[in-house]
Structure formats: C-alpha cells, structure tokens
Amino acid sequence: MLKVVKFGGSSLADAAQFEKVRQIITADPARRVVVVSAPGKRFSADHKITDLLYLCYAHLQYGVSAEGVFSMVVERYRSIVADCGLSADIDKEFLALYEKMQQGISQDELVSRGEYFAARLMAEYLGFDFLDAAEWLQFSFDGQIDREHSYEALRRIAEDRSVVIPGFYGVMPDGHIKVLSRGGSDVTGALAAAALGADVYENWTDVSGFLVTDPRIVKDPEVISTITYRELRELSYMGATVLHEDSIFPLRQEGIPIHVLNTNAPQDPGTMIVENTCSKPKFTITGIAGKKGFASITVEKSMMNTEIGFGRKVLGVFEDNNLSFEHMPSGIDTMTVFVHQNEFAEKEQQVIAGLHRAVQPDSIDLESDLALIAVVGRGMRRTRGTAGRIFSALAHKNINVKMIDQGSSELNIIIGVANDDFETAIKAIYDIFVITRL
Ligand code: ASP
C-alpha cells in the first residue's frame, strides 16, 4: 500500500504545524512519499513565503534592496529549524542564495526555493530522504510537463524509499528551474502519485474536505463525503476550488482516488474524490457553486426554428469576436447566449452589428449583471422533483429565475439569476436540500 501525501502551505506554517504533519505521517506507514508546499500564513495578516519570494524578485527587478524581505523569509525557516530542533545549516545556503540574487537569478528559481527549503527541513524532521523535484519533474522545450520521462525518472529514484519532495517546480531540458502555476504543489503531488501508482493521493489542507457550498455564503456548510471526478469538474468550473485543476488529469487517468483531509483535524473523514461510486450521496445534491458577472444576448426571429444554420451563424458571430459562450438555452423563435460580461462589454457593438448582418433578427435583447448557479449531483438522476424543489425554493424567496439549463448528463442544473439575488438563491437551494434533510 502506498499513499502519496501532499501538505499545503498552512500545514507547514511553523514548527507546531510541522509536528502535526509528523504525527500524521507516523500514524500510517503507507505514507512514504510526501510532497510539500512552501510555508503559508500563520495568522491572517501573515505572509506566504512564496509571496515574499515574488516580492524579493520584484525588488531586484527595480534595483531596490531586497534585504528586508529576504530576511523575513530566512527568519521563518530559522525559527522552524530552532523550534523543531533541526541541525540543517540553512544560513550558509541562504547566504549563497542571496549572493546568487545579486548576480542575477531567474524569478522561477528564486520562488522555487520556498518549497525547496520546506522539503529539506521536513525531510530531516521525519527522518526521510530529501528528493529534489529537479531530479525527476521534467518539462519539454515547449514548457509542458514531460510526463513520460518524469514518471520514469521518479519510479527509478523513489522506488521503496521514504522521501520528501518539494512541490511547485521542475526542470527544463537546459537545466533551468521552472515553476508551475500558483498552487502547483498539488500538481507535483498528483504527478508523483500517478508515477508511482499510489493507492490513494492524500491532499492535506486546512479545511475538512470539499464543502457543499461556499462558506462565505452559507455558514459552516456540510462537507461532501464522496464526490466523483465529473461532479468535481462541474463545481470547479463554477468557481469551487480545493485543488489545482491540473492535478485532476494525471490522477483520473490512473484511476487514483484523492482524499482531501485537514491537517488541523486529522480525525475528520474528509472528502473522497473518485471516478465512480455506488455510495449513495447523503443529499440529493452533491454541491452548489456559482459565479457572478454574466451577460445574456437574446436573438429573436420568427420562424427561426425552420432556418437551417441559424444557430451556427449566431455562434459564428461570437467566434469571430473571439468570445466563448457559457450556455445557450433556446426557444422556438429565440436563442440566448450567455457570455462573461467583462469580455463582452468591449465587443458589444461589434457583436450586435455582426448578428444583424448574419441572421437579420427581429430583435436583439441584452441583459447584464447576471449570475449562474450550478446545482450538481449524481443523485439527481434517479430523484424526481429536484428541479421543482429548486424553483419553489427560489420562488419562496421572490427570486426571478432568468434561465434554466439542465445538462444532458442529468448531473447538473444551471440557473441564471440577477447578480443581486446570487447569495440568497444559493442559501435557499442549500436550505431546501441540506438543512431540511439533516
Ligand atoms: N507555494 C506555491 C504557491 O503559493 C505553490 C503551492 O503552494 O502549491 O502558489
């Protein structure tokens, strides 16, 4: 049994967090491959190490001394070394890094040191080997991850060892360090799990799993115990995030489940993300997510339904203006296209003119400040009345539903409402499916 485990920045913020990680690792011998982020915030006004390192680089760029910010970084690691009783001589390495900064260092190399030092210290604390990501995570010349060679390299070097790997970066073919996008340690963890054929990929954060909805809208929402990759994709697309989206593909391809867990409450069951499951969801819906800031363009033309190619011509206008659309509900004589308002605003008049030219509509109606809400759940497929319950909950709150779109997978229902009704609508849907069922 092998568990590849990744700890986020808040799980490494200080010595007390290091100790929690150690307890989690020692509680299960299957946890042999550990991937770490750079230390995160210890309290809300604190700084993440990665942010400080980006700031250091900005100072260097503008020819301003980076000494003050750099010493904040060094201090954070020094206190971890002292409080954990470690012997690593990091001062010497930081001095060498500072010299390299004066001579010219790339931004990627500098910010990658956050993860590098975190992994070095964690390896010593756990008594594991430090395994540098630069030894196996390889990019191709075009900057894409070279999965084949990376997997092969990791298998060769990590086989049967207990290791700590820094997340977030890898190496270009010319030997230069390159970082992934922000939050990329999740991706490193996922790649390591896929390469080594892990039984599970554990992603330890500071929340007890994936929540049914946004805690900024609903206080203390329930945790989702099991979610499928497809449901996760629908919810993430609508703005719900726990994991870096690029981390899903390598795991899904190998059929490896993800277990999202809380370092500060390791006894909590967390969320399992799986390809498929027979487990019955606790509620009819799995999650609710949404986004504000959409606009809709409704094109009306009588007898539109008989005009072959009408839809293609309408969408062609959006394509010509380089606009992607989100949803496209249609009626007999109307077709509505939902787009991101900020992208549409600057092209509005070109689109209207283009539509007139392309399909000679009877009218074009525009509406802005709309929000889209996705109600997602594999349980909806076999339950009758889900849509009815959503709409009566919204009607009770006096919310006008502007659009309804049920995905053909029956996995989701998308609802359009005014931006101002967004929060009330999410609360109403949460209440009807979750609160009344508890
Ligand atoms: N430390 C990096 C960041 O802050 C990567 C990560 O935490 O996953 O984006």
Report the pLDDT averaged over residues 305-334.
92
Which ligand 1 atom sits closest to the C-alpha of 184?
A: 8
What pLDDT is recorded for position 88?
92
Cα(115) to centroid(ligand 1), Å: 8
What pLDDT is recorded for position 405?
84
Report the pLDDT averaged over residues 402-419.
86
Q: Which amino acid is at 89?
A: D
What pLDDT is recorded for position 245?
84
Does residue 407 register a pLDDT over 80?
Answer: no
What pLDDT is recorded for position 141?
96
pLDDT per residue over 40-82, tens digit each? 999 999 999 999 999 999 999 999 999 999 999 999 999 999 9
Q: Is the CB of 114 under 6 A from ligand 1?
A: yes
Does residue 282 register a pLDDT over 80?
Answer: yes
Long-range contacts of 432-438 (CB under 8 A, 24+ apart): 432/389, 432/390, 432/392, 432/393, 433/283, 433/284, 433/285, 433/389, 434/212, 434/221, 434/222, 434/283, 434/285, 437/282, 437/283, 437/284, 438/222
Q: Is the CB of 37 under 6 A from ligand 1?
A: yes
Q: Is the CB of 184 under 6 A from ligand 1?
A: yes
Report the pLDDT averaged over residues 143-166.
96
Does residue 269 register a pLDDT over 80?
Answer: yes
Tokens matching residue 247: 């981390």
Of all protein residues, whose CA lies closest to atom 2 belonging to ligand 1? 183
Which ligand 1 atom sits closest to the C-alpha of 183?
A: 8
Which of 65, 80, 67 is CA-nearest to residue 114? 80
Sign of CA dihedral 67, 70, 74, 75: positive
Mutate to test the pocket of ligand 1, among 49, 108, 115, 116 (most ligand atoms within 8 A of CB): 115
What pLDDT is recorded for position 436?
79
Does residue 156 register a pLDDT over 80?
Answer: yes
- Looking at every residue in the chain, the average pLDDT score rounds to 94
Mutate to test the pocket of ligand 1, among 47, 48, 57 (most ligand atoms within 8 A of CB): 48
Spatial distance between the Cα atoms of 315 and 298, rounded to a whole number of angstroms: 12
Q: Which residue has the higher pLDDT, 199 or 278?
A: 199
Of all protein residues, whose CA lies closest to atom 6 belonging to ligand 1? 183
Does residue 386 register a pLDDT over 90?
Answer: no
Cα(281) to centroid(ligand 1), Å: 32
pLDDT confidence bin for 423, thresholds 50/70/90:
very high
Report the pLDDT averaged over residues 255-269.
96
Which ligand 1 atom sits closest to the C-alpha of 188?
A: 8
Cα(1) to centroid(ligand 1), Å: 28
Q: Is the CB of 167 under 6 A from ligand 1?
A: yes
Of all protein residues, whose CA lies closest to atom 5 belonging to ligand 1? 183
What pLDDT is recorded for position 278?
86
Does residue 100 register a pLDDT over 80?
Answer: yes
Which ligand 1 atom sits closest to the C-alpha of 51?
A: 4
pLDDT confidence bin for 262, thresholds 50/70/90:
very high
* Three state DSSP letters for the chain: CCEEEEECHHHHCCHHHHHHHHHHHHCCCCEEEEEECCCCCCCCCCCCHHHHHHHHHHHHHCCCCCHHHHHHHHHHHHHHHHHHCCCCCHHHHHHHHHHHHHHCCCHHHHHHHHHHHHHHHHHHHHCCEECCHHHCCEECCCCCECHHHHHHHHHHHHCCCCEEEECCEEECCCCCEEECCCCCHHHHHHHHHHHHCCCEEEEEECCCCCECCCCCCCCCCCECCEEEHHHHHHHHHCCCCCCCHHHHHHHHHHCCCEEEEECCCCCCCCEEEECCCCCCCCCCCCEEEEEEEEEEEEEECCCHHHCCCHHHHHHHHHHHCCCCCCECCECCCEEEEEEEHHHHHCCHHHHHHHHHHHHCCCEEEEEEEEEEEEEECHHHHHCCCHHHHHHHHHHHCCCCCCEEEECCCCCEEEEEEEHHHHHHHHHHHHHHHCHHHC
Report the pLDDT averaged over residues 20-32.
97
Which ligand 1 atom sits closest to the C-alpha of 8?
A: 7
Report the pLDDT averaged over residues 73-100.
96
What pLDDT is recorded for position 204?
97
What pLDDT is recorded for position 304?
85
Q: Is the CB of 166 under 6 A from ligand 1?
A: no
pLDDT per residue over 162-199, tens digit each? 999 999 999 999 999 999 999 999 999 999 999 999 99
Does residue 354 register a pLDDT over 90?
Answer: yes
What pLDDT is recorded for position 380?
83
Q: Is the CB of 281 under 6 A from ligand 1?
A: no
pLDDT confidence bin for 288, thresholds 50/70/90:
very high
Does residue 111 register a pLDDT over 90?
Answer: yes
Cα(189) to centroid(ligand 1), Å: 12
Q: Which amino acid is at 112?
A: S
